[in-house]
Amino acid sequence: MIGVIGGSGFEKFEDFKTIEMHTVETPFGKASSGFKRVCVDGIEFLFISRHGEHHELLPSEIDYRANIYALKLAGATSIVSFSAVGSLQKDLAPGDLVIPYQYIDRTKGLRKSTFLGEGLIGHVSLAHPICEIMAEGLRQIQKEFNFNIHFEKTYICIEGPYFSTLAESNSYRQMNCDIIGMSNFPEYALAREAGLPYLPCCFVTDYDCWDTSRPHVTVEEVIRVMRENNQKGFSILKKILTMPELANGSTAREGGLRTGLFMDSEQIPPNKRLLLDTLTK
C-alpha cells in the first residue's frame, strides 16, 4: 500500500474519500494529525498531512520519525511525498514539478533524523536517496500531463522558518542546487532506514530571492500557486495509484536497517527489538 505525505489540499477534491482516521502512538510520539486511510477511484492508500491537518507545525516541529514509523506500522510499502519548493534556476518555473534525485542538508541539527542510536548501531547509504525506479516510471508517462516535469535535480533543505538571504541563495546556486525547501530532510533518510522506496514530488511556488529582476514574492501569490499545484499533484497521485509497477518502487532493501546494522542480533537491546522488527518487516 502506498503511503502519501502531503498537505491538506488533497482533501478538498471530491474523489478523495476518507475511510478511517488513525491516531498512531509511536516510540517517538504521535504522528502528525490528519493520518488516515483513504480511497481514490476505488484504490486505498495511507495519507498523512506532514504539517498537521490544519497546517499547525513548522518544518522544524514535525516529528519525522513518528510519521515514517506510523506509515510503516500501518502497512505502507512505498512513499510518495508532495511538497512546495522555491526555484534556484530560471528554467524551473512556478507551477513546474521537480523530481530531485539528490539532496543537500543545510538544517541545523534540531530535527531527529535517524532511528539509530541508543544501542542501535549502524549506517545506511544515501548515495541515491530516492527510488529512481519510481522516478523513471513517472518519466515514462510525463507527456500525459499538461505541465512541465523536471528530473534529476538537486534539492537543498534549509531549517527555516525564514527564507534565504540573497547571499545564501546565490551560494546555493553556486553549489549547483536547483530547488530549495524545508521539509524533505530527514524524511527521505528515514524512509531509507525503514526500507521504504521514496518518490519526492516537489512543486515550484516561486523563484528564490537570487533573482533580483523579479518583485519579491508575496504570501498571496504563493498560496495561489500552491492551490494550482494541488490540482496537479492530485492528478499525479491518481495516475500513480493505477500503476502498480510505478507505485511499488524498488523491492530492493539495500541501505535500509535490514542490511545497515553494524551489530549481531544478540547485541540488539531488548527495548529496541520491536522497533527494529517494525522497520525491517
Q: So where are the chain's domains?
A: 2-280
- How far is the C-alpha of 42 from the C-alpha of 115, rounded, in Å? 34
233: amino acid identity, one letter: G
pLDDT computed for residue 278 by the predictor: 94
Q: What is the pLDDT of residues 136-164, one digit of tens each?
A: 999 999 999 999 999 999 999 999 999 99
The predicted structure's pLDDT at residue 281: 87
Rounded to whole angstroms, the Cα distance separating 206 from 252 reads 36
Pick from 46, 28, 44: nearest CA to 36: 46
> Which is nearest to 159 in space by CA: 95, 110, 216?
110
pLDDT score for 13? 84
Look at residue 270 in the predicted model and tell me its pLDDT: 92
At 80 the pLDDT is: 96
Give pLDDT, residue 215: 80
Helix, strand or coil for residue 65?
helix
Q: What is the pLDDT of residue 223?
A: 82
Strand duo 25-26 + 97-106: pairing: unpaired
* Distance between CA atoms of residues 38 and 74, nearest Å: 13
pLDDT along the chain (281 residues), means of 10: 86 87 88 91 95 92 97 94 97 98 97 96 95 95 97 98 96 99 98 96 96 82 87 94 82 74 91 93 87
Residue 100 is predicted with a pLDDT of 99
Burial status of residue 233 (CB atoms within 10 A of its CB: 0-12, 13-18, 19 or more): buried
* Residue-level pLDDT at 251: 59
Which residues are catalytic, by number?
206, 208
Domain topology for 2-280: Rossmann fold (3.40.50)
